[in-house]
Amino acid sequence: MTAQELYQRLKTIQPGSVLCNYSMEACENMIPMINEIIELKKQQNAVIFAHSYVSPEIIYSVADFDGDSFKLSQDATKINADRIIFAAVRFMGETAKILNPHKQVLIPGPLTGCSLADSITVNQIEELHRIYPNHTFVCYINTTAEIKAQCDVCVTSSNVIDIFSHIENDKIVFVPDHLMGQNVQAELEKKGIHKEIVLFDGCCYVHEQYDPEMIRFFREQNPGLKVISHPECHPGVALLSDFVGSTGQMVQYIRNSPKHTPFLLLTECGLNARMQSEMPDHTFIGSCSMCKYMKSNSLSNILETLRHPEKALSIEIEDSVQIKAKKCIDAMFHYASL
Ligand code: SF4
């Protein structure tokens, strides 16, 4: 890849933070790292997975697979590589490991947590099982392998409504995102599906910060504005949005919209950056909310991981947890295919 090619991909991204400064000079400085990463990937039969929220230079230069968590979990079932470098957070690397137990999965970023996945402990879910022995346990994919191992089925933001609709039991415990849980409940009610859903109190620190006042303010300033939000946002935000969906569904909605539509995209700023690069005919305003965990992945720590894989965080999961967590993920693939 040349600096000019990289610059063409990145030049339309508006600086919303110091991380989004894609001058030609910045691109020239990245090229030696990118070329070494590509060379080391070949030598090690390694592939790079990148979530949509990581910095766009990773997605456009070295990633073999990119997208939201559902797409990445599907991609993880199809690969033929010895090593997976997962530029995202730990729970996503765990999903890849559960689906590829014999491959090495390495996480390059130093901040591997997630405010949502880390909000529930094994003790807390065991307690919920004691209180609700007859409920079906559903977890969001943003959970650790230990939590998945204690649940019947996991869901992503792209398939949650379909999966809830297919579950026969009317009594469901959903962990850990209470905002997404409220949005799901409202959506099911609209469809005439009545479930008794017990919610936990976790949330994503990036998505919980949006509020309905912000939407009213931006609408006044920008006539014709289309507001798109993620189901991890507050229900009041979802109510005022033109569209609510996963990152993959948001991308599809934007692709299908008429040219020159102004959008307020209420999700992590990595998706804003991608859309600015891929759809320069639209305008994307405001909302530069950054996930510190996702953004701790960088070209330099991906390169370091490939140079010294023995020093990187390698995902290891106990066999008994791996087997139960895989059942939970397989149940998601099963329901999603109905
Ligand atoms: S954006 Fe929220 S849910 Fe996604 S990794 Fe960051 S903290 Fe977790």
Residue 15: predicted pLDDT: 53
Q: How much distance in Å is there from the Cα of 182 to the middle of ligand 1?
A: 18
Query: What is the dihedral angle through the alpha carbons of 100, 106, 111, 112, rounded to the nearest 10 degrees?
Result: 10
The reply to whether 207-284 shares the fold of 3-112+294-314 is: yes
Q: Give residue-wise pLDDT tens across range 36-81.
A: 999 999 999 999 999 989 999 999 999 999 998 888 888 988 889 9
User: Is the Cβ atom of 208 under 6 angstroms away from ligand 1?
Assistant: no
Q: Average pLDDT of 253-271? A: 92
Q: Please state which architecture CATH assigns to domain 3-112+294-314.
A: 3-Layer(aba) Sandwich (3.40)
Domain ranges of the chain: 3-112+294-314, 117-203, 207-284
28 phi, psi to nearest 5 deg: -60, -40
Q: Predicted confidence band at 277 (pLDDT cuts at 50, 70, 90)?
A: confident
* CB 195, CB 188: distance < 8 Å: yes
Nearest CA to ligand 1 atom 2: 204
Span from the CA of 24 to the centroid of ligand 1 (angstroms): 30
243 C-beta closer than 6 A to ligand 1: no
Q: CB of 226 within 8 A of CB of 262?
A: yes
Determine the average pLDDT of the residues in 136-158. 96
- What average pLDDT does range 199-220 have in this prediction? 94
What dotted CATH number matches 207-284? 3.40.50.10800
Atom of ligand 1 nearest to the CA of 53: 1
Q: What percent of the chain has pLDDT over 70?
A: 97
How much is the pLDDT for 77? Answer: 85
The reported pLDDT for the residue numbered 96 is: 92
What does the alpha-carbon distance between residue 66 and residue 78 come to, in Å, rounded to a whole number?
Answer: 14
pLDDT value of position 209: 93
State percent of the chain over pLDDT 90.
78
Choices 3.40.50.10800, 3.40.50.620, 3.30.70.20, 3.90.420.10: CATH for 117-203: 3.40.50.10800
Give me the long-range contacts of 7-12 (CB less than 8 A, separation at least 24): 9/56, 9/60, 9/277, 10/56, 10/57, 10/60, 10/277, 12/276, 12/277, 12/280
Question: Read out DSSP for 239-265?
Answer: HH-SEE--HHHHHHHHHTSPTT-EEEE
pTM for this model (two decimals): 0.90
- Ligand 1 near 271 CB (within 6 A): no
Residue 205 alpha carbon to ligand 1 centre in Å: 7
